[in-house]
C-alpha cells in the first residue's frame, strides 16, 4: 500500500520535475546563445585599473545570472597596461585554476562572451597603478580561483573578490554588499559583479 502511494506521488510530481528541467534548459540555451560581439572597438584609451565586465556563456556564468538577474554581466577583470597594450587580470575556473592574465582580445573571445562593458573609477591614477600591481602579484604568485567562493581566504580568490581585495590592499575600501548565494555551490556570501557597476565610484566608458 505504502509502495503504491510512493509510486503515485512520483508519477504526480514527474511532469512538474520534467517541466522545471526543460524550462531551466531553455533558459540556459537562450542565455548562452546571445548575440556575438561583432563591433570593432578601440581599446587604446584604456587605463591601468579600469574594470572590464563580460556576460559569459558557461554554466558558471548562468549560475551567477540566476543569482542576480538584474545584472548585465557575470564576470569581471581588471585592466593592466603593459607596453601600451591592455591585458586583463582575472580569476575564472580553468584547467589550472590559476589567476590569469591575457590580452583583451582573448578575454572577449566570442566563445566566452556575449556582451561586455568597461568601467572607470574616480580614484587617482597613482592609486589605481598600485591596485594593478597588487592584482598582478596575485597572477605572478599563482593564486588560485576560489571554487568555494569564500571571502575569508586570501590566496584563493574568485573574480570580484580578487578586485575587491586588490583595492582594499592599497587602502581603498569599496564597501560592496555581498549577497547570499545558495545555488549549486552552496550557501555563501558572495560579491556579485553588479555591485561594482552600481557603485558610485565607477562609471561606464565603453
* pTM score, whole prediction: 0.78
Choosing among 3.90.1720.10, 2.60.40.3080, 3.40.1550.10, 3.40.50.1820, the CATH entry for 51-204 is: 3.90.1720.10
8: Cβ–Cβ under 8 A, 6 or more apart, which residues? none
Which cell numbers in the block locate residue 156? 584563493
pLDDT of residue 72: 84
User: pLDDT grade, residue 112 (50/70/90)?
Assistant: confident
User: pLDDT grade, residue 30 (50/70/90)?
Assistant: very low
Q: Any idea what the Cα angle at residue 174 is, between residues 42 and 191, rounded to 5°? A: 85
Amino acid at each position: 500500500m505504502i509502495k503504491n502511494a510512493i509510486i503515485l506521488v512520483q508519477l504526480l510530481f514527474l511532469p512538474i520535475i520534467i517541466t522545471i528541467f526543460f524550462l531551466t534548459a531553455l533558459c540556459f540555451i537562450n542565455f548562452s546563445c546571445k548575440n556575438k560581439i561583432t563591433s570593432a572597438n578601440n581599446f587604446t584609451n584604456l587605463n591601468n585599473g579600469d574594470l572590464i565586465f563580460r556576460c559569459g556563456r558557461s554554466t558558471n556564468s548562468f549560475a551567477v545570472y540566476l543569482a542576480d538577474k538584474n545584472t548585465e554581466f557575470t564576470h569581471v577583470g581588471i585592466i593592466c597596461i603593459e607596453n601600451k597594450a591592455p591585458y586583463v587580470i582575472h580569476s575564472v575556473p580553468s584547467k589550472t585554476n590559476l589567476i590569469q592574465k591575457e590580452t583583451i582580445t582573448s578575454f572577449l573571445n566570442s566563445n566566452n562572451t556575449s556582451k561586455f562593458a568597461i568601467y572607470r573609477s574616480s580614484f587617482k591614477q597613482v592609486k589605481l597603478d598600485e591596485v594593478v600591481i597588487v592584482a598582478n602579484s596575485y597572477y605572478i604568485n599563482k593564486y588560485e580561483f576560489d571554487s568555494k567562493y569564500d571571502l575569508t581566504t586570501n590566496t584563493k580568490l574568485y573574480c570580484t573578490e580578487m578586485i575587491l581585495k586588490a583595492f582594499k590592499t592599497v587602502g581603498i575600501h569599496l564597501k560592496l554588499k555581498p549577497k547570499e548565494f545558495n545555488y549549486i555551490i552552496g550557501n555563501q556570501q558572495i560579491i556579485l559583479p553588479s555591485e561594482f557597476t552600481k557603485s558610485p565610484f565607477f562609471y561606464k566608458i565603453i
